Structure 1
């Protein structure tokens, strides 16, 4: 995240579509609204650190007014419209490598089955590993041009590793038709090549590569349903974004483009 101005609460951090205006930095700590799964999530973040994964915030405490304090992770975060430095092939490969590091650490941690993990962007097939589910540019901290840390685990839920890769590909390749991609991404990004770079950076296994194009279509449908739920609830951020980015016709176009290019993506992988 990036700091914007100073307030009595600390430095306001901007970025992303959730918790707008409610995230503040206090020196080496970040204070933000706590997700419903905060206790289970904090236990998972501590377990990640015990596994040697140092690229996620560490919990400090929960406050009585429903907020959480986490360690601040210094670096650069790409905000829309996304700059070219964040969309280089080297940056993309490093995102894949960082996600693989997260998954290798998470695979050794038993998921808390008692927690009511959010289902809005979760893998519908479930799984035994906690996925991040929201590795978008606003949630990746860069240092020296490479992905160095992940933030905002609010949507984490059990799922398959390939689901997390698919969700990440949606944002970083991006898996969008050229018209939709032009809204926030630099021009000239080659989606099939970039999908392979992400998969190579992650070290995706052959079977998962074969499944990935279909899982991306599945993940896109889940993201559309997520937006529909937010719009139906009257969330002003999502209502405005839907209106400004072409409405439901944009989602129709994206899904048709993914279906039409499924073979191209499979060949690239």
Structure 2
């Protein structure tokens, strides 16, 4: 039986847009399209395990037809529209703590300088640590209401820790104007207070707290450019999502809202 036939018999895993419809579970393994950085990324994930970070999938092998197999991590993964259980303060704080664990271990691992790491959501300032860059609710596995593992490292690239925190804040606070947030998130989330909780969970320094709102604005611009590139390439999923969520006016509104509330976010982080 071909790998394609085997995939067809597996359990399809939903969530995310980049590999939608192409990710399957076969018992204890997950099979999915391999990114072009798979050899370097697999080496990095194995190094994380060797350094004691067990909260990420373990690579098993690359297949001849361009797919990868990784260990399946059991638990709960929230899908949009996001339920209230994944937006509790406990959940938010645990996401920050898990990201800090990843970074603390990752700083001791040399990033392959020859790999062509994806630049679409990467830190424009660069860095020596491999950032996840896509810690959205669909990529965090929960157990008992707390973040237990990170999955889908396809967009990982070298960068600064604060960039990864900023990208994470976009999804988990969320750093969206109320109209935009209402599409996918429960009502009544206090953005400044939640940004402080995430920063506390991670353990950001005072200097990093002062920088974070501006970095979030930069990360938002990168995400907008990422969507624009996908739409320009004719990706139907991104084109549909853009239309359903308010078009480019939504992105204008988000960026204006972030700039208008920059001082409020800074005060919440440093207060």
Structure 1 unmatched runs, 5+: 1-5
Cα offset, 1:9, TM superposition: 2.6
What residue in structure 2 maps to residue 254 of structure 1? 254
CA distance in 1, matches of 2:182, 2:105: 35
Deviations 1:193-220 (A, max 9, x none): 0000000000011111010000000000
Whole-angstrom CA distance in 2 between matches of 1:267 and 1:230: 35
After TM superposition, where is structure 1 displaced by more than 3 Å over at least 4 residues in a row? none
The answer as to whether partners of 2:7 and 2:31 remain within 8 angstroms in 1 is: no
- Aligned residue for 2:13? 13
* Partner residue, 2:174: 174
Partner of 1:3: none
2:108 and 2:82 map into 1 onto residues whose CA distance is 34
Distance, in Å, in 1 between the alignment partners of 2:128 and 2:209 is 20
TM-score, structure 2 normalization: 0.96
Partner of 1:211: 211
In the alignment, is residue 184 of structure 1 matched against residue 173 of structure 2? Answer: no
- Corresponding residue of 1:141: 141
1:231 corresponds to which residue? 231
Q: Residue 125 of structure 1 aligns with which residue?
A: 125
Alpha-carbon distance between aligned partners in 2 of 1:72 and 1:29, rounded to the nearest angstrom: 5
Q: Provide the secondary structure at the position in 2 that maps to 1:118.
A: coil
Q: TM-score scaled to structure 1, two decimals? A: 0.97
> Which residues of 2 match residues 54-73 of structure 1 at below 5 A?
54-73=54-73
Aligned residue number for residue 53 of structure 1: 53
Shift of 1:7: 7.5
- Number of residue equivalences: 264
| 2: CA distance, partners of 1:196 / 1:163 | 16
**C-alpha offsets along residues 35-61 of structure 1, whole Å, 9 cap, x if unaligned?**
010000000000000110000000000
Judging changes above 3 Å, is the alpha-carbon distance between structure 1 residues 8 and 215 closer, same or farther for their aligned structure 2 residues?
closer
